Amino acid sequence: GGTRSLPMESRGAFRFEQRSLPTDLGGPFTLRAIRKFSDAGTKTNVGSGTNTEVSLSNSYRTIHTFGSDRGLVHVSPNYALPRQQLDLLQMPCDVLVANGLLPSTAVNVGDRWNNDDWALPMLTGVEAVIEQSSTCELKTADDKTATVLFKGRVHGATLGSESTVSISGEFTVHRESGMITSLTATQKEERSPGPVSPGLNVTASIVWVQSPVSTEPGTPDALT
């Protein structure tokens, strides 16, 4: 019988060890990894006094993640993931997807490049794309690290709702290993009300860091 606007604030934190797996496939199908979570959860407040907390159960702490033409797919090797747990794992600017922002050829400070058409939608969680644009620029570089600025905009649909997402940020790359060691970004989304989701006008701040660790004994060498 009408519409209501409600303020919303949500915070999420994730900590996990990840083993990336090699593949001969190209595009988004290059993204393959096994993750072992030690912490994953969100706390959300909607309106005045409606609070929700979601955390990843111990049964789902090991997750197999791989890229597809529909985005990242998360699978538990032992149990079917409930919807609530699966939604929790859909992180903006996922560390695997961020690798799609790296240049395919050598670049110099000040150079700019575009990304493959799968990278930005997967990075922002847009499922169906009408139009998009994205650019990266090498800001600084020395013998050990390089800093890259990135920005983009994608218009399409998520969960059947029309959505427009813009994103900007920067990340640091360890030049010898090629690992992105840190990323900060601001993502803004305007989503129309749809059949299974409310309308949204959201600004998200994203920060993460990662560093090499030794592989735990018994960590699988392949997805199952």
Instruction: Encode pLDDT of 106-128 as tens digits.
Output: 999 999 999 999 999 999 999 99
State the pLDDT at residue 136: 97
Q: What is the pLDDT of residues 17-64, one digit of tens each?
A: 999 998 888 889 999 999 999 999 999 999 888 899 999 999 999 999
- The percentage of the chain sitting over the pLDDT mark of 70, rounded to a whole number, equals 95
Distance CA(5)–CA(200), nearest Å, equals: 9
DSSP bridge pairs for 205: 186
153 touches 166 (CB < 8 A): yes
Order the strands of the 200-209 sheet from edge to edge.
112-113, 128-141, 145-158, 161-174, 180-191, 200-209
Q: Could you tell me which residue, 113 or 194, shows the higher pLDDT? A: 113
Is residue 204 over pLDDT 80?
Answer: yes
54 touches 84 (CB < 8 A): yes
Q: What is the pLDDT of residues 129-178, one digit of tens each?
A: 999 999 999 999 999 999 999 999 999 998 889 999 999 999 999 999 99
Q: What is the dihedral of CA 189, 193, 196, 202, to 10 degrees?
A: 20
Radius of gyration of the chain (CA): 18
State the pLDDT at residue 224: 42
pTM over 0.95: no
* Burial of 102 (C-beta count, 10 Å sphere; 0-12/13-18/19+): middle
